[in-house]
Structure 1
Amino acid sequence: MKLYDEPILDGRTALQHGPANDGCIFLVTSKGRDTVLPGVTIYARRGHAPLSGDSRTSNGVYIPSPARALIENMVPSRASSRRVARTYSQDEIEVYLESYLERYGEGGLTRLRDQVRVVGQQLAMAEEAEKLDQIIGALLVENNVLPEVAGRTYRDKSRIDADRLVLFEKLLKALHEFIPADRPVSPIDSASNELSAFYEAYFSNFIEGIKFDVEEARDIVFANKFPEGRQEDAQDLVGTWQVVSDTAGMSSHPACFDAFLRQLRTDHASVMQGRSGKNPGVFKAKANMAGGYVFVAPEKMAATLKEGFVMLDELKGGFRRGVFAMFLISEVHPFDDGNGRVARIAMNRALSADNQARIIIPAVSRDTYLAALRSMSKMGNETAVIRMLDFAQLWTSEVPWQDWSETFRILEACNAFLEPDEVNERYLRLERPR
């Protein structure tokens, strides 16, 4: 006897691929009618029809894809005197995901995460998919340690980069003692925000070696004209612009560590959206370095970021918080690529959240900025990085970001567009706007 048309395993039976311990079976069907059989009770609910990723068994029952099963298990449910809870608790979901990670590795869990985002849209369950995405992200970044047990990891000093903590504490002390100038931002119109955000994205990408003429960059950002052969570079510029031009998004500093991690991933996914090979929004799984300098190892990344965030939370004021956030992210280097841009976005988000002028580092100051970071990283010279960024903020605050032609003329007069080599040869420097 056929009881249901196209029944799909649901809730905990979808993840277990069979009845619950008390004999209950949960289904998604078109009719939503419960059925009591000897030793088995079938609880059916109405729901979405089978998706392309669901597989049909020989007896006509569909087994949902892991992504669908997990998303539908994110809907809370309670046990009753008659049956177990329809869906897994969060603890049970985390245990399932840990087993999935052990079986399929980080690559497999990352692919599952990508599928969750797609299936969430198909099921119209974006909120549940986002919560699941956060759990998977925490599992990936914590290297098998989820937020609920993360405290044990952070107390395990073997999972913290102790040398980096020394640097962070040194910078923290210096920033506590530093008295930043008050450089508030007056209300600006959308055109002014568009102009300053454009140059913020333009110069941030220049630091990473992605160079365009200004007019060419304007066409990329505002006319969607991508130069032939430079699709990825152009998309980097657009992605950075999309983040920094979002006034509301750039004015809210993450209030807790979980929000901090989510913001990092979101920013990175936007900046690197055109480079799928760089794993947009996914924390690194392999060690990375620059010029022989090795950044924090993947297995120590989460705990080190956590300790750094605790220090960040101690600081008051946008400049102090911005400088520390930038160096924290830069030093940990949590992604395969794009770390510098994400670090500078975090810096400017802290400044905007405090209504302080952002920091734009023009082409002419690229080497000075990178040298200050290296000096802090290798020698603990906190003075260089604080002074460099303080002047950069002063300079940014003095530029009138109002008219495209006038601003371009001022930036040229300040030597902002000059390459560092040209500056050294001609004994020039970044000049303050007149």
Structure 2
Amino acid sequence: MSVEAFDTVDVIAAKRDGRALSKEQIDWVIDAYTRGAVAEEQMAALAMAIFINDMEPEEIAHWTQAMIDSGERMDFSSLSRPTSDKHSTGGVGDKITLPLAPLVAVFDVAVPQLSGRGLGHTGGTLDKLESIPGWQAGLSNQAIVDQLEDVGAVICAAGTGLAPADKKLYALRDITSTVDCIPLIASSIMSKKIAEGTSGLVLDVKVGSGAFMKDLTKARALAQTMVELGKAAGVKTSALLTDMSTPLGLTVGNALEVRESVEVLAGGGPADVADLTVALAEEMLRLAGKTDVDVRAALNDGRAMDKWKQMIRAQHGDPEAALPVAEHTEVVTATESGVLTQLDALSVGVASWRLGAGRARKEDPVQDVAGIELHAKPGDTVTAGQPLMTLHTATPERFERAIEALDSAVEIGGDAASVPESIVFDTIT
């Protein structure tokens, strides 16, 4: 039986007492936790100590590197084009990855978009794409590289070998109320993204009720921490702070969001979705050294749509197939006339989740057809009795609890000027 380099209790006590952990302590504790030599309850105590006492920038960098070193790293150096990726901190109606990946690929930049599934009120990119008949999320590392060379874009599940320490710690944070902690969020996101091997990364850091970060100050701190971690690891990194006080676009839910994404790829769709897709694409291309390009033209002239169809077919999906449609719908109407001043993202996200679009536990199934279609957004004038949203589900017994979640979601009456003019608040480079 080998002797461990450190005593777990000493490491926990150091952070409990507000001391910085050394690189050696961090390297050991992450490795020992991955091996099972540090027990779950011990890592839970350490996570809570980090939550309460924070971490120095150097500690966060060491913690992130140790998580990367816990597994394998992807290598895209054999590709004939540069790579650029995007990561969103999660929101409601956030289908941006779907039109974004093929749009960026039009300009000969490869997009390795290793994505996840939804948990709670935020939707998962893979769940959305799985509503397309035949589409497959799982690819081998070699298949990812091959598709990036042939098509230029891939959206798929991250391999189990990338940052395995993060997978364990992520699940633990979820059940120990240590999720909302900048060092742990930043290191979780960046360890996976750096291990993915992309040379450029744009972070879409959401701000507002439907986001992890409810206020701009904390969101900016998280964004700056992640940008610094990326740059320190040799990845060109920037961040956009974007609005998540109201859902993105006019759909929330899996097949519904795919339909809207295809509308954006056809040069249409809601302005907020199209605008954010273009803003993120321009930033991803800038990091890849391509600045003199007309991104919006590629949406309007069909090039992005052609790339989308190629990408979906490469993963055995049928881009021409009809998307599944819910058997049961229920309409929510406006109770009064006036200007719609609030449509709360969190409430809409929870309602969509209760309709079956999301999951409470990792192993739960999701409904392709469940979700919410919005007929008005903040700033619109509505009249009493006008449809505000249509709820979709395969199981109508879910309507009652979904409608309860929408109780305080809508505010009608005030001044339209309170609606933000731009979805992008700030860019951090």
Both proteins in one fold, TM over 0.5: no
TM-score, normalization: structure 2?
0.32
In terms of fraction of residues, the more helix-rich structure is 1
Greater RCO, CA 8 A, separation 6+: 2
* Greater fraction of residues in strand: 2
